[in-house]
Structure 1
Amino acid sequence: MEVFVGIDVAKETHWVCALDHAARVLLNRAVDNEQADIDALVRELVALGDDVVIGLDITGSLARFLEAVLLAEGLRLVHVPGIAVNRAGHGFAGGERKSDPRDAHTIADLVRTRSLRPILPDDETVIALRLKVTRRREITDDQTRRISRLRQLLGAIHPGLERRLDLTGKGPLVLITRYVTPGEIRSAGHKRIVAYLRKTPHLHAAEALARAALEAAQGQRTVVPGEAVFADMIREIAAEALEARQILGRLDRDIEALLDDHLDGALIRSLPGMGAELTAELIANIGTIDRFPSADALASAAGLAPVIRQSGMSRNWRRAHGGDKALKRVFFQSAFCAVSTRDPLSKAFYDRKRKEGKHHTQAIIALARRRITVLWTMIRSRQAFDPNRKAA
Structure 2
Amino acid sequence: MARVIIGVDPHKRSATIEVINERERTLAQGRFGTDHDGYQAMLAAGRRHKERLWAVEGCNGIGRHVAQRLVADGETVVDVPAKLSARARVFSTGQGRKTDPVDAHSVAVVALRTPGLRQVTVDDTSVVLRLLVDRRDQLGRTRTDIVSRLHHLLLELIPGGAKKDLSAQQARALLNTVRPRDLAG
* TM > 0.5: yes
What is the one-letter code of the residue matched to 1:121? V
CA deviation after TM superposition for structure 1 residue 134, in Å: 0.8
Q: How far apart in 1 are the matches of 2:155 and 2:83? A: 43
> Residue 162 of structure 1: SS of its match in structure 2?
coil
Query: Could you tell me whether the CA contact under 8 Å between 2:5 and 2:21 is conserved in 1?
Result: yes
Choose from 37, 47, 57 the match for 1:43.
47
The size of the alignment, in residue pairs, is 177
* Number of the residue aligned with 1:144: 144
> Residue 119 of structure 1: SS of its match in structure 2?
coil
Q: Which structure 2 residues correspond to residues 50-89 of structure 1 after superposition, within 5 A?
A: 52-57=53-58, 64=65, 67-68=68-69, 70-82=70-82, 85=85, 89=89
Q: TM-score, normalising length from structure 1?
A: 0.36
Query: Could you tell me whether the CA contact under 8 Å between 1:13 and 1:30 is conserved in 2?
Result: no
CA deviation after TM superposition for structure 1 residue 109, in Å: 2.7
Query: Could you tell me whether the CA contact under 8 Å between 2:7 and 2:106 is conserved in 1?
Result: yes
Where does the alignment leave 5 or more consecutive residues of structure 1 unmatched? 189-222, 232-392
Q: Over alpha carbons, which structure has the higher Rg?
A: 1
Q: State the Cα RMSD in Å.
A: 4.1
Q: Which structure 2 residues correspond to residues 177-256 of structure 1 after superposition, within 5 A?
A: 178-179=175-176, 184=178, 187=179, 228=184
CA deviation after TM superposition for structure 1 residue 154, in Å: 4.4
* Number of the residue aligned with 2:18: 17
What is the one-letter code of the residue matched to 1:7? V
Q: How far apart in 1 are the matches of 2:144 and 2:80? A: 33
Query: Could you tell me whether the CA contact under 8 Å between 1:79 and 1:119 is conserved in 2?
Result: yes
CA deviation after TM superposition for structure 1 residue 100, in Å: 1.4
CA deviation after TM superposition for structure 1 residue 62, in Å: 8.0
CA deviation after TM superposition for structure 1 residue 115, in Å: 4.7
CA deviation after TM superposition for structure 1 residue 104, in Å: 0.6
* Number of the residue aligned with 1:134: 134
Q: How far apart in 2 are the matches of 1:54 and 1:28? A: 15
* Number of the residue aligned with 1:368: none
Q: How far apart in 2 are the matches of 1:145 and 1:83? A: 38
Q: TM-score, normalising length from structure 2?
A: 0.65
More helix per residue: 1 or 2? Answer: 1
Q: Comparing both chains, which one has the higher relative contact order based on Cα–Cα distances under 8 Å and sequence gaps of 6 or more?
A: 2
Query: Could you tell me whether the CA contact under 8 Å between 1:4 and 1:54 is conserved in 2?
Result: yes
What is the one-letter code of the residue matched to 1:28? A
Q: Which structure 2 residues correspond to residues 161-172 of structure 1 after superposition, within 5 A?
A: 162-163=162-163, 166-167=165-166, 169-172=167-170
Q: Structure 1 residues 94 and 52 mapped into 2: Cα distance closer, same or farther (>3 Å)? A: same
More strand per residue: 1 or 2? Answer: 2
Where does the alignment leave 5 or more consecutive residues of structure 2 unmatched? none
